[in-house]
Amino acid sequence: MERFFTSCMGSMPRSSELMRARRLVEAGRMEAADYGILVEQQTAEVLAMQERLGVDMVVSGELGRDNYVSFISEKIDGVTQMSMAEMMDHIEDKQAFDEILNTLDVPAVSIKNAICTGTLGYTGDIVLEELRMMKRHTSLPIKITMPGPYLVTRSMWLAEVSTQGYTTKEDLGEAVLDIYRQEIEALMAEGVDLIQFDEPVLTEVVFTEGKTRTFMCASLSQRKDPTEELEFATHLIKTARGFVDSSKTIASLHVCRGNWSKKEEILLTGPYTPLIQLFADVAPDMLSLEYSTPRAGELDAFLRDPRILDSPIKLGLGIMNPRLDVAESVEFMVERGREAADIIGPDRLALNPDCGFATFSNRPVNTYEHIEAKVANMVTAAKILREEYAER
């Protein structure tokens, strides 16, 4: 890809028509095939929007997914979708869990998790059909987004029910890796330009001192030692990354600090410094990181760490906050791009939002009107940066 190539992170708002159709399917009042036709029609519109705005690499918008991770319950055998309210039946400290949800602005009845309730089985598609659908409607380079293997393992583990399939969370993780191996092989055989592993929960591990504080994970009794937990995460992510042949496909790792609410004060805060060793060990081709907000810490300090500076890892620089209605100025985006390019060089830099615009289908954090203005400014900033660094 060329210098400063632009892309979105993944999710886009679902229309009211699409949300209603999904409810009808769940109620048995609409055929899944008819719902699939509607998803494809609206995905084609999302792709066309990105192409019209001049984005270099397109995403699907994840319109057919319930949320960033729970959709896998529809794709993998041995997994059941549960609402947070249903999960409370299997959680020992129900009051504490309810307090977490209230504090974090999460309605227990509306957010769902994919929970392991038996032995996992690969059915031949997690995001493969989404990729094929995209190829029917665009000739642009394609980014396909997947919940990372650590996120999937940790969010699926609810000991009281998951032990019906696996003795430990570690055993579950190995089963997840086997499924990811098969899916990634299928994606590369189909042909995909970039596979992005989404691992937002990594910041929870390092910023909460081992205490679970977000609804992103069903596991309320995981290890308390962040170092031990990061070792587990590193093993899963590094192994999955190893399934990607970098001569054919870019392997990208996306890490943010939560994207479920427009209330910035309840989202996690802290620099990526505690995760640098994991990044170095996993060695993705690209890191897509949140850097438009002060909550992310200093960009300069992160990039000058020798484990980043002296590596070949490219940076997908987050230059827009998906939760803010106002579009960041072109000048702000260009300045952030300059700051990064002057340290790691323009050949290692891409531009993107901090995160998706609708991590949960029923809780989008922005509208298409604002999204288009933001993305248009990003594309303009990329053009300016390419011209400015053309001779460097």
H or E element in which residue 301 lies: helix 299-304
Segments in the chain below pLDDT 50 = 210, 212-223
pLDDT at res. 333:
98
pLDDT at res. 7:
98
Within 8 A by CB and 6+ apart from 9, the residues are 59, 145, 196, 254, 288, 322, 352, 353, 354, 355, 356
pTM of the model: 0.92
Q: Collapsing DSSP states into helix, strand and coil, what is residue 335?
A: helix
> Could you give the dihedral angle defined by the CA atoms of residues 367, 373, 379 and 381, in that order, rounded to the nearest 10 degrees?
-130
Q: Collapsing DSSP states into helix, strand and coil, what is residue 56?
A: coil
H or E element in which residue 318 lies: strand 314-318
Q: Collapsing DSSP states into helix, strand and coil, what is residue 191?
A: coil
DSSP 64-126: T-SBTTGGGGGTEEEEEEEEHHHHGGG-S-HHHHHHHHHHTT--TTT-EEEEEEEEEEE-S-S
Q: Which of 247, 218, 254 is nearest to 72 (CA)?
A: 218
H or E element in which residue 195 lies: strand 194-198
- Assigned CATH class of 5-388: alpha beta
